[in-house]
Chain A
Amino acid sequence: MSAQEQAFLEYVQGGGQVETSDWMPAEYRARLIKFIEMHGNSELMGVLPEREWILRAPTLQRKLALTAKVQDEVGHAQLIYRVVEDLGKPRAACLQDLIDGKSKFHNVFHYPTKSWGDVGVIAWLVDAAAIISQKALLKCSYAPYARIMKKICWEESFHILHGRDVILTMMNGTDEQRTLVQEALDRWWGPLMQFHGNPIAQGDDPSFSWRIKSQSNDEARQQFLDGYVPQIWELGLTVPDPKLRKDEEADRWEYSEPDWAELKHVVTGNGPRTKGRLQLRRTSRAETDWVRRALLAEAA
């Protein structure tokens, strides 16, 4: 590492913030692009599991809230891809790499949404898990990314409200509705426990060294369990992990080891819905290509 790079590293580790026009080491730029692009991809792909339910929302209020939530996620993708674009990788290239399977997106968006219970669990718990990671990004060394995270976290907080409301309504409903929620929780618990990633020592995690993120994977998971397991239990729901308990003395949750092989398998393009959802992105992009060309021709 050159002296200039070393000085940069110390600067960001000491809490320094970096703007788009500042000099930065090539490795930092590459790490940022990869990290932020995956976040953008996840917002965009995260649209699809819920989008399937926009047409099936059971009341006008739910319809509006769900459509607005999916809309927010598209808006987040727009904000995030702009940050990537300003770092040097255009949005079109990000979308192309995504549909070519060359870049990744979060594990939870590779799974099917089987019932309205899943819609509630996603909005409540998947968004809760996501907001924990995103709040930690408010302290990211790359300032343009940290700044948009404020808007994103603010909007996500509405999603959790929506999700909790959906779940509480169903839990106060019929036995069939309560069963829908429990079944959805059973389906999503594994992916939720994998969501924050396998524990990596902070020293071995370059995103941590460059202070792109400021929280370890396991810290994030502990925070998620701390915040949400009591909320799950108080509704009379069962978390499908017999080992799950809080060690009050150590102030840590104990849990069965998440299935890291599944995580790896899924995010490398082999999830139950990966191919179908990428195919939908590919075809819808092809089918509206003429619109973008028509607009660009006029703009030129």
Chain B
Amino acid sequence: MSERAQQLLEIADDELLLGWRNSEWTGIAPFLEEDVAFSSIAQNEIGHARALYELAGRDLGKTADELAFDRAPEEYRSAALVEPRFVPDWARTIARHYLYETADQIRIEALKASDDAEVAGLAAKIDREEVYHRMHAEMWLERLVGEPRVREALVELWPKALGVLGDDLRPLLRERLAALDLPEVEPVERGKHSGELAELWEKMTVVRRSVPGATW
């Protein structure tokens, strides 16, 4: 697999799984207006995953759906941050949302500067939607940061958040989140999957696997 395809798949898998997890809030978010808003974010993330899979798929000879659904769980390149199920815990959900969006911004900025015009172009498009996700995450964190359970969630998820980025970009994440005064920790590296990914994968693919080769 080319380095470019590898890199696109990593980001696509992150967006896919986080979108899938965030979509679990659709219908049961803390209040109705937020339900609508958070669902849009989940949909955008899955939309980003699709666009990234399409680009990777051109190198790999696969469709976006094949890449999203038809790999074995251990083949996903996702970060540990995006895998766990947090419903009905809004504190962890917001902590993850904020940490992920901050890390993702750093990653997208790097991609926008890429020499590969296709990658840079797609990154710029994605970033225009991510601006709103960041505003949303910041708005929520600002309101809830004084809640002990949100603070605990930030500390708990911090090693996994560092794992979203490669070694080279981690100092930037530490720098941007300096105000949160998070502890010095070892990052949880990408690709070490928890049981929660396998469980999510079972659900995600259950209809698709029920009639192999069918069109849905």
Which residues on A are within 8 Å of B, measured CB to CB? 44, 47-48, 51, 53-60, 62-64, 67-68, 70-71, 73-75, 77-78, 81, 91, 116, 166, 169-170, 172-174, 176-177, 280-281, 283-284, 287-288, 290-292, 294-295, 298
Contacts and interface: CB of A to CB of B under 8 A. Distances in A.
Contact of A78 (B36, B204, B215): B36
A170 B88 CA distance: 34
Determine chain A's interface SS by DSSP, over half rule: helix
Interface in B116-165: 143-144, 147, 149
B207 A74 contact: no
Listed from nearest, the 8 A-B pairs whose CB atoms lie closest are A288-B30, A71-B39, A47-B27, A58-B216, A78-B32, A287-B88, A291-B30, A58-B207
Contact of B43 (A55, A64, A172): A64
8 contacts: A54-B26, A55-B23, A68-B43, A70-B27, A74-B32, A116-B216, A174-B214, A290-B147
Interface in B181-216: 200, 203-208, 210-211, 214-216
Interface stretch (B64-72, B74-82, B104-112, B167-175): B64-72
Contacts of A47: 26-27
Contact of B147 (A71, A176, A280, A294): A294
Nearest to B207: A58
Given A55-B200, A91-B32, A176-B210, 15 more contacts: A48-B27, A51-B28, A56-B203, A57-B207, A58-B216, A60-B49, A63-B20, A67-B23, A67-B39, A71-B40, A74-B29, A75-B32, A77-B32, A78-B36, A291-B90
B56 interface: no
Interface string B80-99: 00000000111000000000
Q: Interface extent on B, as a size class?
A: 35 or more
B143 A288 contact: no
B42 interface: yes
B41 to A, nearest CB: 11
A48 B24 CA distance: 11
A292 B32 contact: no
A280 B88 CA distance: 11
A194 B39 CA distance: 32
Contacts of B200: 55
A54 B88 contact: no
B64 to A, nearest CB: 6
Given A51-B28, A169-B216, A172-B215, A60 B64 contact: yes
A294 B140 CA distance: 11
A48 B88 CA distance: 15
Nearest to B35: A74
A162 B46 CA distance: 18
Given A58-B69, A60-B50, A74 B216 contact: no
A283 B88 contact: yes
Nearest to A43: B32
Contacts of B68: 60
Given A64-B43, A116-B207, A298 B32 contact: no
Given A51-B27, A56-B206, A67 B43 contact: yes
A61 to B, nearest CB: 8
Most buried by B among A57, A78, A174: A57
A188 B187 CA distance: 51
B189 to A, nearest CB: 27
A141 to B, nearest CB: 26
B87 to A, nearest CB: 8
Given A56-B206, A67-B42, A169 B215 contact: yes
A283 B87 CA distance: 12
Contacts of A169: 215-216
